[in-house]
Amino acid sequence: MLLVACASVASAGVYKCARDDGTVMYQEDPCPPGKELRDFEREPASLSVIPFRIPNEPVERTPSPRNAASSASKSDRPSRKSDERGGSAAERKFLVPGIGEGEVVARIGRPDVSSGAGRKTMRWTYLPVPDDPQTVTTLTFELGRLVQVERKVVPKP
């Protein structure tokens, strides 16, 4: 008896069904006739994997043969602000609408310029840095969700 009970629980599926009001419902029992949208046993959900670097992961830096701070021009050195901002500038090109402000900060750090704080629509701007040279990235958020990603290449001065 115990084996039969365990077997029926283990074989329980997930069904995506349409309700009468047009909304979607997920349930363990098969959908009524004509209401089945998806049977996850016959059609498993597809999975998309997006590479993601953990923000607090240490970045490997190779020491230069000479003192880079004294030989590099001021424009070649990353600013202290970009070092303190956190995140990875290289991740800017992988941002997609729909993610929240917190995920953006975790992935690419705080913006260089922001406007609209406390309003329905906000804009965050990220200026060029060595990991994302000559590119200004402007993000538009509505109600805390990213709705637009704009990347502009700016000529070197």
The 3 state secondary structure assigned to the chain is CHHHHHHHHHCCCCEEEECCCCCEEEECCCCCCCCEEEECCCCCCCCCCCCCCCCCCCCCCCCCCCCHHHHCCCCCCCCHHHHHHCCCHHHHHHCCCCCEHHHHHHHHCCCCEEECCCCCEEEEEECCECCECCEEEEEEEECCEEEEEEEEECCCC
Q: What is the pLDDT of residues 16-54, one digit of tens each?
A: 889 889 888 888 888 888 888 877 677 776 666 666 566
Please check whether residues 99 and 141 belong to one and the same domain: yes
Residue 34: domain span: 12-47
Answer yes or no: is 132 within a domain: yes
Answer yes or no: is 129 within a domain: yes
Answer yes or no: is 64 within a domain: no
Please check whether residues 106 and 41 belong to one and the same domain: no
Q: What is the pLDDT of residues 87-128, one digit of tens each?
A: 788 889 889 999 999 999 999 999 999 998 878 899 999 998
Answer yes or no: is 59 within a domain: no
Residue 12 pLDDT > 90, yes or no? no
pLDDT of residue 141: 93
> What pLDDT band is residue 134 in, cutting at 50, 70 and 90?
confident
pTM of the full predicted structure? 0.47
* Domain harbouring 133, CATH code: 3.30.1450.10
> What pLDDT band is residue 55 in, cutting at 50, 70 and 90?
low
Please check whether residues 84 and 148 belong to one and the same domain: yes
